[in-house]
């Protein structure tokens, strides 16, 4: 299952390629050279239950070693953690850089990833991060009169 999630993550990233990039030194643009995201795989030898869910924040990606605050060009924009529990349950968590990805984009990213994983939708058919929205309105024929 984890390998399946990992393979499909790489396919989703082709549609959201800025996520796999790094901030430019000027911190106002993203360099997309396919550096990828940081994927953390963890096993937790306890069952997922109500007591655990109250303390779930302790298992979010934090204390990540890849963060370089002096050189953001080295720091991934997104971190993904997949945690497998003793009962077979899986928790998926992400940590993203807010200047690059807002909450809605992060939610949509996870939603599209889950559609590809669960429903078997080919990654090529997802409709995410389209940069051709100007085509919706189409060009207008503007004429000027003298």
Domain map of the chain by residue range? 2-136
Q: What's the confidence (pLDDT) of residue 118?
A: 84
**Class of the CATH-defined domain 2-136:** alpha beta
Instruction: Pull the structure tokens for residue 26.
Output: 């000027």
Instruction: Return the beta strands (E) in the chain as ranges.
Output: 22-23, 30-31, 38-44, 78-85, 90-96
Residues 6+ apart with CB under 8 A from 86: 44, 45, 46, 47
- 143/9 Cα distance (integer angstroms): 48
Look at strands 30-31 and 22-23 and give their pairing: antiparallel
Global pTM reads 0.70
Quick: pLDDT tens for 65-81.
Answer: 555 666 666 778 888 88
**How confident is the prediction along the chain (146 residues), in pLDDT tens digits per residue?**
888 888 888 888 887 878 888 887 776 788 888 788 888 888 888 777 666 666 666 655 555 555 566 666 677 888 888 888 888 888 888 888 888 888 888 888 888 888 888 888 776 777 766 656 566 676 677 777 76
Query: How many residues appear in the chain?
Result: 146
């Amino acid at each position: 299952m984890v390998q399946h999630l990992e393979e499909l993550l790489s396919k989703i990233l082709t549609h959201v390629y800025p996520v796999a990039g790094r901030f430019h030194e000027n911190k106002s643009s993203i360099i997309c050279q396919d550096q990828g995201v940081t994927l953390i795989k963890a096993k937790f030898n306890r069952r997922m239950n109500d007591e655990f869910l109250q303390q779930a924040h302790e298992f979010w990606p934090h204390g990540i070693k890849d963060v370089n605050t002096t050189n953001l060009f080295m720091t991934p924009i997104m971190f993904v953690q997949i945690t497998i529990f003793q009962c077979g349950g899986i928790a998926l968590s992400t940590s993203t850089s807010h200047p690059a990805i807002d909450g809605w984009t992060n939610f949509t990213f996870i939603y599209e990833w889950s559609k590809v994983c669960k429903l078997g939708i080919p990654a090529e058919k997802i409709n995410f991060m389209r940069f051709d929205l100007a085509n919706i309105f189409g060009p207008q024929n503007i004429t000027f009169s003298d």
